[in-house]
Structure 1
């Protein structure tokens, strides 16, 4: 007979199974497989928790709770990001969503993290600026042209490489956007629309709190409750190195339309094309001094 003291609910079993599965998948991946440096003091087999959190664009504390089998909410979009970061194959991805009791938004899709091959593809797109962003506007990877398009991304810490944060707090980024108020309003509307599926997630709430604390200007825009879906359009930037650039912006989704996306900028005129070539040359010239 099962007593109340020994009874374990099905949700508890699922959470512990999910925690063990995530931990096992994390420990089997080498840093080199996902484009990270191994370092000298690595004691953990495979990836560290904070590295999985970074690759998945979720909070370290939140991911730690997930591996500790705590009772927290996990959206399909976050599960999709974890599946990609952990390089799960189709069977493993199906198992992940089953353990989480969630419906896979892209059940037939292959998973791919930000691997060295992906970084190579970003490099091959140069001089066209390109990066990978998630729906929270975190910049997960970028090529050298994008790294100097609006500000010097290499000089920023990973947690500060977020387009929303940069658009309201980084003066170099702000001065590079010709129509800053219009861009801010559009970004806030897209961010609000995307956040509807992540309202209870700590990473989203933390970013919103940081924006509200850092910028009263953001609070005014946010209070309008405007929403808008994804869109592609021509953007004009005032780059500090090469001057005005007119670029056609395109989003290429790497998974569900609420997940990671490849963001590219193609010159809309010959002057902008030449400007991007000069910008890449400038970036290449700076590389020896950064080494």
Structure 2
């Protein structure tokens, strides 16, 4: 039975008209690129257009022909993520194309692992290293630290090293779980509402995704402060902000955090910390040159 044929005629709230038009054009273009041989169908005769026919896509996806035709015509019809995933498979879409399809359909676009948490390639690592002594890192929208340079490691070991809380290389996790006496953030109470607000803004595009839901649930379990801020529904933009770090060897280090987007990876950004004054620059240079210097002046038993 087609997955959605019984609902084809029901009134629906689909994506807005402009996105429906873009969705229709994208589907037609993708269908034209796939030959019957690509999906194990006989080539057939008298094909007036390249690629698959609409009925063939509907058959492969397990949906009604009428429903799929309406989808390609840009009509306002319902489309669940399960059905759109079936359409994506039928059209042999890759991970980027699948995410684009979901966004055009007005559905949460679950980022595949290689987009959300890719391995930082050597070229990007060279850029990070070249920014030293400015601390710099590549993170995703959940604050996972995917790549960093020596200066960032020296400044923020709680988010980069094997001793990171619960083994998570994650700046927000570090900010809410490391005790006040050892936390690298001096202005944590100023920072936390902004960080949680930025997280909730990003979360709106990922509601219901297992990885995001597990992450938020875990943070709520380990931190009452995070749960309080999360339940406040605060949202915030990603903007250049002042951060104050502490290091036992040199004291406080003030920086401006700037965020740079990364074309091709919409879920990633590069953060670069610029020292606020000459004293801060000198302290950064010292801790980077002396990575074994203790970050805090005591230990916990």
TM-score range (shorter-chain normalised) is 0.5 to 0.7
Label 1:231 to 1:246 Cα distance change in 2 as closer, same or farther (>3 A): same
Label 1:285 to 1:242 Cα distance change in 2 as closer, same or farther (>3 A): closer
SS of the counterpart of 1:155?
A: coil
- Deviation at 1:219? 1.3
- Deviation at 1:253? 0.6
1:96-245 correspondence runs (5 A): 114-152=120-158, 153-156=160-163, 160-171=168-179, 175-245=183-253
| 1:148-207 Cα deviation digits (max 9, x unpaired) | 213342224696011221111123796321111111111111111110111111111011
Larger Rg: 2
Label 1:165 to 1:190 Cα distance change in 2 as closer, same or farther (>3 A): same
Q: Tell me if structure 2 keeps the 8 A contact 1:150–1:177.
A: no
| 1:9-50 Cα deviation digits (max 9, x unpaired) | 15475354588956xx9xxxxxxxxxxxxxxxxxxxxxxxxx
SS of the counterpart of 2:183?
A: helix
Q: Which sits farther off after the overlay, 122-131 or 10-19? A: 10-19
1:267-278 correspondence runs (5 A): 267-278=275-286
Q: Tell me if structure 2 keeps the 8 A contact 1:114–1:141.
A: yes
TM-score normalized by the length of structure 1: 0.61
1:252 aligns with 2:285: no
Q: What is the aligned counterpart of 1:14 among 76, 80, 87? A: 87
Q: Distance in 1 between matches of 2:188 and 2:113?
A: 32
Q: Tell me if structure 1 keeps the 8 A contact 2:175–2:183.
A: no
Unaligned runs of 5+ in 1: 26-65, 67-72, 86-112, 287-291
Partner of 2:115: 82
Q: Tell me if structure 1 keeps the 8 A contact 2:115–2:265.
A: no
**When the two structures are aligned, how many residues end up with a matched partner?**
209
Q: Distance in 1 between matches of 2:194 and 2:224?
A: 17
Across the aligned residues of Structure 1 and Structure 2, the Cα RMSD in angstroms comes to 3.6
- Deviation at 1:250? 0.3
Q: Distance in 2 between matches of 1:274 and 1:238?
A: 14
SS of the counterpart of 1:131?
A: strand
Q: Which sits farther off after the overlay, 153-162 or 202-211? A: 153-162
Unaligned runs of 5+ in 2: 3-58, 64-82, 100-105, 295-301
